[in-house]
Amino acid sequence: MIRDNEDIARRTTGTPIKITGVKTVVVNAEMRNWIFVKVLTDQPGLYGWGEASLNWKTRAVTGAVEDLEPMLLGRDPRDIEQCVRAMNKFSYYNLGMVGVTAISGIEHALWDIFGKSVGLPVWRLLGGKVRDRVRVYTHLGLGEMKSVYETFDVGSLKERAAAVVEKGYDALKVVFIPYGAHTSPIPAQRHVGKMMEALRTTVGDGVDIMIDFHGRPGSIAAAMGFIRELEPYRPMFCEEPVQPGDTEALRIIAEKAECPIASGERLVGIKEFQPVFNQRALHIAQPDLNHTGGLLEGKRIAAAAEAALIGIAPHNPNGPLAGVAALHFDVSTPNFVIQEEMSGAVPWYDDVVQTPIRRVGSAWEVPELPGFGIEVNEAEAAKHPFKPEVMHAMSAVLEDGTIVDW
């Protein structure tokens, strides 16, 4: 592999390169589908891999990738800014989450090609190394989706949290805010407080805890009712306490809360992040590099956040290629705080992809292979073809039949 990359770098230095095709490989990871994107070139052995996974939108995203392909054919993949502009500008209509996710996966693959063509890891092309390791956190069940989204019992919570710590992590995220609307009943608040107390007692003060609200509260008051129960146990942050889009509500919560507030996984591009930064409506921004436009746009978001004294904790519940792209971004981003990862989502996680991700304790090591340093085993991937994903959101219904936010 290393010799092949060295040969590619020698052969392509100063040589025109053209994109000849863009394809997708869908891998069903039981609770969600991973969408891998492969960009092909006219240079033998030179191609790039990215990821464009978006839950419950697999066929829409793969269709978007197919629609975007003609805008790239014949272009030099190393002209990343120009390629992204072509996909955005020539599309005419605003692309939204589906289209920008497709662009993100393609853009990742272009960086992989660029790195391979010059024999350097992508993080060097993004500005170089600003840290020697990347702190990460995982979820209950080590990424197993049922544990992540369906742990509301104190006993199960303690057992699964202890298992995470035993694996060497010093930070974890939980999702135990109940479905609700514009009020938060006292029993519901008390149960959240009880869960948090049990969690802190189990893992101790040396482990950071993040609570993902998933935008479930339907009002500022409802969100604050739960936050007040959590504050005594010093969460690292409370994530998405209200639905994205209401910057004023988020700002009020950030001012009232006695713990850091995070959000941003559902925002697209610097244009949607900038108003949030201008109002100092959060403390930690969580762009998803699969969904916000790619690494270049992620770096713009991070720079704007840094100017507003806001940290960056990229969202990433996706597959192994998304993790590698985030790793390279994190190595090169000064205001990075912590990285989400779900490496235990399926037992065969590492079989479909060879990655340079190496975890020591609760941190990823800095990779040195050219490009992203990844290779997809397409034969192994084919053993896990597309399937409709589990619709967790279908459970977001109150006792009276009201459909609420998942």
* Per-position b or e across 117-130, b if 16+ CB within 10 A of its CB: bbbbbbbbbbeeee
- Average pLDDT for residues 234-247, to the nearest whole number? 97
The answer to whether 131 and 66 are in contact (CB under 8 A) is no
Domain parsing of the chain, residue ranges: 2-120, 125-368
Give the residue among 349, 339, 363 at the shortest CA–CA distance from 289: 339
Read off the tokens for 242.
């209200």
Least confident of 140-154, 157-171, 238-252: 140-154
- Among residues 214, 291, 328, 384, the one annotated as catalytic is 214
Amino acid at 143: G
What is the model's pLDDT at position 2? Answer: 55
What is the model's pLDDT at position 4? Answer: 72
Element (H, E) at 212: strand 208-212
pLDDT tens track for 17-43: 999 999 999 999 988 899 999 999 999
Read off the tokens for 208.
């950071």
* 3-class DSSP string for 36-56: EEEEEECCCCCEEEEECCCCC
User: In which region does residue 367 sit, left (phi positive, over 0), alpha (psi from -120 to 50) or beta (all else)?
Assistant: beta
Q: Which of 4-13, 131-140, 341-350, 392-401 has the highest mean pLDDT?
A: 131-140
Question: Cα separation of 114 and 228, whole Å?
Answer: 48
Question: Cα separation of 95 and 99, whole Å?
Answer: 5
CATH code for residues 125-368 = 3.20.20.120
Q: How many residues does the chain have?
A: 406
What's the CATH architecture for 2-120?
Answer: 2-Layer Sandwich (3.30)
* 3-class DSSP string for 324-355: HHHHHHHHCCCCECCEECCCCCCCCCCCCEEC
Dihedral angle at the C-alpha atoms of 62, 380, 320, 83, nearest 10 degrees?
Answer: -40
Q: Do domains 2-120 and 125-368 have the same CATH topology?
A: no
Collapsing DSSP to helix, strand or coil, 308 comes out as: coil
Distance of CA 154 to the CA centre of its chain: 27
Determine whether 255 is exposed, middle or buried from the number of CB atoms within 10 Å of its CB (0-12, 13-18, 19+). exposed
Residue % of the chain over a pLDDT of 90: 83
What is the model's pLDDT at position 389? Answer: 85
Q: What is the mean pLDDT of the chain?
A: 94
In the sheet that 47-51 helps form, which strands lie side by side, from edge to edge? 19-28, 33-41, 47-51
* Residue 70 DSSP label: G
User: Does the active-site annotation cover 328?
Assistant: no
Q: Which long-range contacts (CB under 8 A, 24 or more apart) does 256-259 make?
A: 256/220, 256/224, 256/227, 257/224, 257/227, 257/231, 258/231, 259/227, 259/230, 259/231, 259/234, 259/235
- Average pLDDT for residues 1-23, to the nearest whole number? 78
- Average pLDDT for residues 223-227, to the nearest whole number? 97
pTM of the model: 0.95
pLDDT tens track for 66-120: 999 999 999 999 999 999 999 999 999 989 999 999 999 999 999 999 999 999 9
- Among residues 139, 283, 291, 315, the one annotated as catalytic is 315
CA distances from 150 to 3, 105, 289, 309 (A): 47, 29, 26, 34
What is the model's pLDDT at position 347? Answer: 86
What is the model's pLDDT at position 15? Answer: 83
- Average pLDDT for residues 307-329, to the nearest whole number? 96
User: Does the active-site annotation cover 182?
Assistant: no
Residue % of the chain over a pLDDT of 70: 97
pLDDT tens track for 175-205: 999 998 899 899 999 999 999 999 999 999 9
Read off the tokens for 67.
């629609």
pLDDT tens track for 247-293: 999 999 999 999 999 999 999 999 999 999 999 999 999 999 999 99
What is the model's pLDDT at position 28? Answer: 95
Q: Could you tell me the pLDDT band of residue 3, with boundaries at 50, 70 and 90?
A: low
Please state, as a whole number, how many other Cβ atoms lie within 10 Å of the Cβ of residue 152: 14
pLDDT tens track for 319-355: 999 999 999 999 999 999 999 998 777 888 888 999 9
What is the model's pLDDT at position 149? Answer: 72
